[in-house]
Structure formats: structure tokens, C-alpha cells
Amino acid sequence: MKLSRRNFLQWASLSAMGAVACDIFREGEMNIQSPVDLPEDLVTGQDNWYSTLCPQCPEREGMIVRVMEGRAKKVQGNPLYPTNRGKQSVRCEGGLQALYHPDRLSKPLLRIGSRQSANFREIGWDEASSRLVARLSGLRDAGNANAMLMVTEPVRGHLGLVVDRFVGGYGGRRIAFEAMDQTVLRSALKGVYGQDTLPDFDIENSGYLISFGADFLSTWVSPVRYSRGYGEFRGHENGKKRGTHIHVGSRYSMTAANADEWVPITPGKEGILALSIAYVIISEGLAPQDVIRAMTGGAGAAALDQFRPDRVVSRIGMPESIRGEQATDIIVRIAREFAEGGGGLGLAIGGGETGAHTNGLFNLSAVYALNYLVGSVGRRPGQGGVVFNPPPPIDGLPAPSPAGSLADWSRVADELNDGQIEVLMVQGPNPVHALPTSVGFQESLGASGAFVVSFSSFMDDTTQMADLILPQRDPLEEWGDDVPQPGPGYEIVGMQQPVVNPLSDLDPRSFPDLLLTMSQELGLDDGLPNTFKDLLRQGAQRLFELNRGSVEGATFEAFWNKMLQQGGWWDVDRVSTASPPSPPNLAELARGDIEPSFQAPTGDNLFYFIPFLSNSLLDGRGSHLPWLQAAPDPLSSVTWQTWIEINSQQAKEMGWKEGDVVRVVSTEANMSALVYPHPAVPRGLVGIPVGQGHAPGVEYQSRDGSRRGSNPMSILAPETDRETGALAWAATRVLVVPTGDNQRVSKFEGIVPAFPFGTKEEDIVQVTKG
């Protein structure tokens, strides 16, 4: 059809009429819709940020929590808090999930049936507390109050005071538990520096750092504080020279991966290398003469002759050469650079696996003694080196109770068997999971007739063996305070306040309030107020009366509010007045047996075995939180599973590939894990993360009624540090036996293999040996 003007106009008007007739313009255009459900992004109200303390790690960082409409939404580091200064760990952020966890226990539970059956029924709080009080008063009336044992973490601040007074007033006993405890570290620091509290390591203001074993950038002692300091240590701000970091240790940890140089040695030989470094400094006169005299008893380098670099190289299993440099030259160079301080001050720190051997105390004492040679002991904050912490500003706060040693726990297991413990109260730790099988704690508890009470919000390995479970408030719903260990080098009290109320279908109670109430019901004279909040306010009143520090307020109420707002109180001018004691005599330190010993099964494929704390789950306390389960390990990027790190070359020789299921066999027990070959793991050594392998109880830490992953703590041999009796968790050797199964490793890392770059000469695989 020819398109004429007439045709065009006809078609155009027809189309227009059709459009109008068919109502095409009305569809939606002139309507506005109310959806049935409220869109999630349309939230009303304003957010509030409250400061409090993070409960996830022992270091207890200061944090701020974003709260909207009564719900906690986000956790961040508190920028004012002196230790972490606005930084936070993945564990802090993940801790939020505990608040709204579907498996959180809502009411007190009473066991029905046998201890192994884990069957419970819900009871009311009145019944629960009257049952417990009746038990306790019955025990006391029978003159047997000593048969009550309270197990907590090494609690600090006013919570420590409440627990102390309750247990003391009742006449019972208490013991603290830490999975990988700091007993050896504390003993070493006490012996070498004369300090009861952990000192602050001022990494940011030091120039040259040697870390022995301590994975301080991931999980060791106060990792957020150290990581923040490390960031400044490595930076160039204010014309500062970039600090140099040497890591000595047997396992390729996150800290080793970040160091300028990693010196891999045989496990347990760190102390010998430290003394070899001391030998070089002393023999070359790089330290002040009076210090050298004090540390060698006047004998000079001759006192340490057995630690001459060329004599220790093969003894400590150091590679003959690394990147073309002879091992002896490396020791001499590190010693010279350390003494020179890299443009600042030298600092040596040690811990982790270094202290977890049968010679752990020797290792750590030797490491910390190095700081005397370079004058970094007892410095003021901001000057680098080791900064002593002052005592807490509030009198009467008990020092953190030291964690019980392996021997203590064996005794507890025996007493449970013998019926010497009749009431066992557990708050915080999970000893059934974290104690080696060889202690026999689980069996003793299972067979024991004791009345076991667990103050826990979740079903864990210990809780599900309890007779009575009293759900606690989440730390975000709870009052508290803390004197950080280690502190920032000056006086500090951190404050924890409830930022949200428990959800309406939950009925948890505050642990300290329960103790205070029970104290009254039992008629104990603890001299404390009725609620924990009142006790904290009493403590704050004393800080107010000091009339100094970071919090100003004309009245106590103003002071209290400001203190909660800031997240605590601190006074940067109140530093430790303790002067360093006279340095230890290195020759005496090296007297006796300084070699590590291991317990090893017989067979081929024998490996050194280094369990390490998971970066996200820690000792397993985060394993019920899916965010933390899904947070990849910084080195392997593995999530949700238990893997075994093994040298990739060695795995190839054995014919093992990634995902092969192997059994790891010690003299005590065995466990399974998935092979994860890695080129930087030294030959003859395997590492397995701690944190998985829980008894079924919470969905995310077990699946299909079975355990998720395995627990390396369970297979440890009962080796202890010779001096302190603490568990030497790196002193077990294991056999690795393939099972023939293979599972896919759930990791973030791509499938393209990663190669260490550099020439063949520099290849890190080539330089390591067992």
C-alpha cells in the first residue's frame, strides 16, 4: 500500500484511538501501590552507637555497637579505646550473631535421663535457683563446702571480685581454664621482668622486631592491639623508617607470612637461637658492658660458648642457607641488626608454640632476656620496647586468676571420679572440648555423681553433660568492666554496658547477678551490693573521686554517663613506676635440660605437630556462629572444615593430594583431617587449627547429628612444661595415615596453584627441612 498523506493521517489517528480505547496509559502510570509486606530497607528511627567491650577474645577490645529500634546491627572498634583504637577483629564482628542465634537457650534446663543422653526439660527460674541453692546449702550444712568447684575463664575486673567473694564466702574452690593458656608466658615475664601483669609491647615505636613463635597478628594475646601497632611500625608516617620484622618459628603462621624474613627452625629450639643471638651481641660488645657483665656473671661471651652460631645451626634445624646466605651469617646479621635497632629500638617477643614445649619456660625466658641487651625493658609508653603496666586504679580488684595447669585438671578429673567434687559450676570455658583426651576429664564427668551446673547460653560439649543449665545474658545485654591484660602502658578500666535487651522469647539472667542473689539466699557475707551494676557504680565512684583521667564530670552521674559513653576510663599520665629488675644470668638460664622432648608414636611418617588457634573460631568459642565458620583462614582460605597443613613437596612424594582424608595418630588418640598441601610448611611438620570437632548441640558447629571437623586438642599427649606444669601443646608428634577417602576442601582460594616467586635458589620449599 502506498503511503499517502491521507493514509498516514488515518493510521495515526486509528493508533491514537486504539491506544486510548485499550487504556494502555492507565496501567501503573496513574496508580501508586501499597505492598503487602513492609520493605526491609524502609526502617524508621535513628541509629544509636553505644560503647561496650567485646567478649569474643580474652583481650576484650573496646567496641561500639550500632543499635536501631532496640536491635544491635553492627559492631566496630571503639576509636577512643586505648588498646585497639577503633580497630576490631573478625571475632568481634561475628560475635553479634550470638545475640539472635536460633539455637540460643531461652530458659533454664534440667537434665532428664543419663548424663550421656543430653535430654533436658525446661523449668522456671524459681525452680532452677532453688534447686541450686538447696544443693549448695545442703553441701555446706554437711560441712563439705570444699566439695564445690567453680570453673571460669581467668576473669578480670569486678566479675573476678564477685566470683572470688562468692567462692570464698561459701568455702568452695575455684579453678580457671584457658585452652591454650598463657601460664608459661606469665611465668617467663615474672621471672625475667618481675612483672605480675602482662607488659605492653610497643611495636609501633620500635624499629626492629623479632617474634619467636608468637602469631601476634592473628590470635596471640592481644592481636588487634599488636596489628594496629604493626601497621604503624611498617608505615612511613612522620618521616619514620619502616620497621624490620623477623619471625622465628617452626610453623608458617600469618605472622611469619607478614615478616620480612622467616627463619624456620625445629620446634622447641627457639630459646637456643635466642641465646645464639645473645652470644653474638655479647661477643661483639654491642650491648653496654655493665649489662653484659650482669647477664654473663662477668664471664662475657665465654659463658655462652655453646651457643656460638656455628655450633647451634644444625642443633636448631636451621636451613644451611636461605636465599644464598649461610645460616651462621644470618644469625650474626640478625643479632647485629637487632642491637642496632633498625633506626629505633630492638624488641623481641615470644609465645605461642615457643612456650608450648617441655622447655617452654626456658625458650620464653631466653627470648625476653634479649630485650635487656638492647635496653628495651621498662620503657615509657611511646618509646618502643617493653612497657610495664601499672596496677589497676581501683584497689581491691583481684588479679586475674591463673589458669589451672594440666596437673590441676588431672586432679579435678580424679576428684570427680572419687566423689570429692559434689557441685561443679562451669561458667565460660568448655573443658570437655579443650582438654586432651589423656586427662580423662570427659569420662570422669560422665561417670561422676556430682551436680553439674553450666551457666551457658548455648549447648556446648560441657553444657550438654550438665544437670542444670542456666542461660546467661549475652555480653551485649550485660554489665561488666575490664582491666585489660595487657593494658596500654597506663591505668585503664574498660566499661561494658547492655546495649540491647534480650528478645522477648528469651529469659536469660546475668551471671554476676545470680551469684550476688545466691550469696544472699545462702547468707554469705560477701560485703557486695545487691546487683552487679551497683557494684560497678561503686568502682566508678572511686575513679570519680580520683578526679583525674579521661573522664570529666561535675557530678558522679555526669561522670558515670561520660564513662559509659567513652567506653571506659584511663589516665595516660599514670604509668608504671616499676623499674626493671637486674637482668637474668643467661648462663644460669641455659643450665639444665634446655632441649625439648616429644611424645611420639612408633611408625613411619612421623611429623612434628603444631595445633594453632583458628583465626575466627579461636579455641572453639566462635564455632556456633556461621559468620565465623565462614570466615576464611587468612593463609589457607579454608572455611567450615578441619584441615592439616603439610609441605606440598612432601605431600606429593607421599602421593597425597588436597582433600585426602588422613588420620592423625598420636600416642593418645587419633583424629581425621583433610590434607591441605602448602609450599611454605616446613617438611616433617603439620599444623591443624583448633576450634572444630564439637559434640552435636548447635547447628553450625555440628551437622547431621555428627561433629563438624575434628578437635586437635583431643589427641595431645600429656606433655607439660618442665617448670610450670602447663600443657606443652606443641610437644606431641603424630603419624599421618591416609584413609583413602577424599573430600573437596571448602576454600576461597582459586584452583590455579600458587607458586612462590623468585628464582629456584630463593624457592622457600627448597630451604626448609625437617
Q: From the CB of 557, what's the least distance to other proteins, in Å?
A: 26
Residues in the chain: 770
Element (H, E) at 491: strand 490-496
Task: Closer to other proteins by CB, 3 or 42: give it.
Answer: 42
CB of 40 to other proteins, least distance (A): 11
Q: Whole-angstrom Cα distance, residue 56 to residue 60?
A: 7
Pick the piece of the chain touching other proteins (CB under 8 A) from 25-33, 165-173, 359-367, 510-518.
Answer: 25-33
Sorted by sequence, the CB contacts under 8 Å of residue 283 that are 6+ apart come out as 300, 301
Query: Among residues 30 and 554, whose Cβ is nearest to other proteins?
Result: 30
Minimum CB distance to other proteins, residue 16 (Å)? 16
Is 44 near other proteins (CB under 8 A)? yes
* Cα gap 277→212, rounded to integer Å: 12
Closer residue to other proteins in complex, CB, 1/30: 30
Phi, psi of 688 (to 5 degrees): -135, 135
Q: Is 33 in the site for other proteins (CB under 8 A)?
A: yes
Is 545 a binding residue for other proteins by CB under 8 A? The answer is no
First to last CA, the chain: 92
Residue of 502, 508, 416 whose CA lies nearest to 471: 508
How far is the C-alpha of 439 from the C-alpha of 434, rounded, in Å?
11
34 scored as a contact of other proteins (CB under 8 A):
yes
Cell numbers found for residue 523 = 547468707
Cβ 25 to other proteins shortest distance, Å: 12
Give least dist CB 26 to other proteins, A: 10
Q: Specify the residue, 32 or 751, whose C-beta has the smaller distance to other proteins.
A: 32
Q: Which of 1, 21, 42, 752 binds other proteins (CB under 8 A)?
A: 42
- Among candidates 640, 637, 617, which has minimal Cα distance to 713? 617
Answer for which of 1, 3, 21, 30 binds other proteins (CB under 8 A) is 30
Our CB check for other proteins shows the closer of 39 and 740 to be 39
CB of 75 to other proteins, least distance (A): 24
504 binds other proteins (CB under 8 A): no
Contact flags string 411-450 toward other proteins, x per CB under 8 A: ----------------------------------------
Residue from 277, 271, 276, 243 nearest 259 by CA: 243
Residue whose CB is less far from other proteins, 3 or 30: 30
Nearer to other proteins, 37 or 604 (CB): 37
Question: Which amino acid type is present at position 186?
Answer: R
Task: Provide the edge-to-edge strand list for the sheet that holds 71-77.
Answer: 48-53, 62-68, 71-77
Pick 21 or 42: Cβ nearer other proteins: 42
Considering beta carbons, is residue 39 or 527 the nearer one to other proteins?
A: 39
Contacts of 757 by beta carbon, 8 Å cutoff, 6+ apart: none
Q: Is the distance from CB of 544 to CB of 535 less than 8 angstroms? A: no
Is 419:392 a contact under the CB 8 Å cutoff?
A: no
Closest approach, Cβ 45 to other proteins, in A, equals 10
The residue type of 739 is T
Residue 369 exposure: Cα atoms within 13 Å on the Cβ side: 35
Number of other residues whose CB lies within 10 A of the CB of residue 102: 8
Binding residues with other proteins: total (CB under 8 A): 14
Residue window 305-334: x/- pattern of binding to other proteins, with contact defined by CB under 8 A: ------------------------------
- Alpha carbons within 13 A on the beta-carbon side of 523: 4
Query: Is the Cβ of residue 33 or residue 114 nearer to other proteins in the bound state?
Result: 33
In angstroms, give the least distance from the CB of 35 to other proteins. Answer: 5
Q: Which three cell numbers stand for residue 424?
A: 561443679
Least gap, CB of 29 to other proteins (angstroms): 8
x-marked contacts with other proteins along 352-381 as a string, rule CB under 8 A: ------------------------------
Per CB under 8 A, the segment of 33-41, 241-249, 394-402, 442-450 that binds other proteins is: 33-41
User: How far apart (Å, rounded) are the C-alpha atoms in residues 680 and 658?
Assistant: 15
Regarding 39 and contact with other proteins (CB under 8 A), the answer is yes
**Residue 21 makes contact with other proteins by CB under 8 A:** no
* CB-nearer residue toward other proteins: 31 or 555: 31
Among positions 4, 6, 23, 31, the unique one binding other proteins when judged by CB under 8 A: 31
In the bound complex, what is the minimum distance in angstroms from residue 46's beta carbon to other proteins? 11
- Residues in region 247-286 near other proteins by CB under 8 A: none
Q: Which stretch binds other proteins (CB under 8 A): 39-47, 157-165, 370-378, 737-745?
A: 39-47
Q: Where are the beta strands (DSSP E) in 551-600?
A: 568-575
**Nearer to other proteins (CB atom), residue 31 or residue 602:** 31
The grid coordinates listed for 190 are 615474672
Instruction: Choose between 66 and 336: whose C-beta lies nearer to other proteins.
Output: 66
Q: How far is the CB of 27 from other proteins (least distance, A)?
A: 10
Q: Which of 35, 113, 239, 705 binds other proteins (CB under 8 A)?
A: 35
Q: Where are the beta strands (DSSP E) in 599-682?
A: 606-613, 643-647, 660-665, 670-678
CA angle 155/161/167 to nearest 5° reads: 90
Q: Are 472 and 463 in contact (CB under 8 A)?
A: no
**708, 694 Cβ separation under 8 angstroms:** yes
Specify the DSSP class assigned to residue 720: B
Minimum distance of other proteins from residue 11's CB (angstroms): 24
Interacting span for other proteins (CB under 8 A) from 42-50, 111-119, 415-423, 702-710: 42-50
290 conformational bin, left if phi > 0, alpha if psi -120 to 50, beta if neither: alpha
Q: Is 37 in the site for other proteins (CB under 8 A)?
A: yes
Residue 5 C-beta: closest distance to other proteins, Å: 22
Torsion angle, CA of 72/78/81/82, rounded to 10 degrees?
A: 140
The residues facing 495 across adjacent strands are 481
The distance of Cα 297 from the centroid of its chain, to the nearest Å, equals 39
- Of the listed pieces 4-12, 38-46, 56-64, 480-488, which binds other proteins according to CB under 8 A? 38-46
Q: Does 547 bind other proteins (CB under 8 A)?
A: no
Q: How far is the CB of 503 from other proteins (least distance, A)?
A: 19
For residues 594 and 272, the answer to whether their CB atoms sit within 8 Å is yes
Count CB-CB contacts under 10 A for residue 682.
29
CB of 504 to other proteins, least distance (A): 17
Binding span for other proteins by CB under 8 A among 36-44, 71-79, 187-195, 427-435: 36-44
Cell numbers linked to 738: 591416609
Label the pairing between strands 733-742 and 706-707: unpaired
User: Which helix H or strand E contains 62, and what residues bound it?
Assistant: strand 62-68
Select the residue interacting with other proteins from 36, 554, 751, 752 (CB under 8 A). Answer: 36
Are the beta carbons of 389 and 198 closer than 8 angstroms? yes
Closest contact distance (angstroms) between CB of 48 and other proteins is 17
Residues in contact with other proteins by the rule CB under 8 A: 29-39, 42-44
